[in-house]
Amino acid sequence: MYYYIAHDMQRCGVKEVSTAFMSNESISLLLVLRDTQDSEVLRLIQLAKENNIPIKEGSERDLWRMARDNKGEIKPQILALVGRNPYAEIDEIFSNGGLIWLLAGAKYPVNIGFTIRTAEVSGANAVFIDSELNNTERKGAVRASMKAHRFIPIHWVNGETIVDKAKSKGFKIISIEDIGTKTPWDENLTGNIMLIIGGERAGISDAILQKSDSILKIPMTGFVPSFNLQAPMAIVAAEAQRQRSK
**pTM for this prediction:** 0.89
- CA-to-CA dists, residue 25 to 111, 118, 230, angstroms: 34, 25, 32
pLDDT digits (tens, 9 = 90+) for 216-245: 999 888 887 777 778 889 999 999 999 998
pLDDT digits (tens, 9 = 90+) for 11-55: 999 999 999 999 999 999 999 999 999 999 999 999 999 999 999
Domains within the chain, CATH numbers bracketed: 2-82 (3.30.1330.30), 90-244 (3.40.1280.10)
What DSSP element (H or E) covers 94? helix 90-96
pLDDT digits (tens, 9 = 90+) for 62-88: 999 889 876 665 789 999 999 999 999
The one-character DSSP state at 203 is B
Q: Reduced to 3 states, what is the DSSP secondary structure of residue 228?
A: coil
User: What CA–CA distance (Å, rounded) separates 122 from 141?
Assistant: 18
User: What CA–CA distance (Å, rounded) separates 6 from 148?
Assistant: 13
pLDDT digits (tens, 9 = 90+) for 140-153: 998 899 889 999 99
Mode of pairing for the β-strands spanning 55-58 and 27-33: parallel
User: What CA–CA distance (Å, rounded) separates 104 from 107?
Assistant: 9
Q: What is the phi/psi pair of residue 114, to 5°?
A: -65, -40
pLDDT of residue 6 exceeding 50, the answer is no
Report angle CA 228, 123, 204 to the nearest 5 degrees.
35
- Using 50, 70 and 90 to split pLDDT, how confident is the model at 115? very high
What DSSP element (H or E) covers 129? strand 126-130
More confident residue, 181 or 209: 209
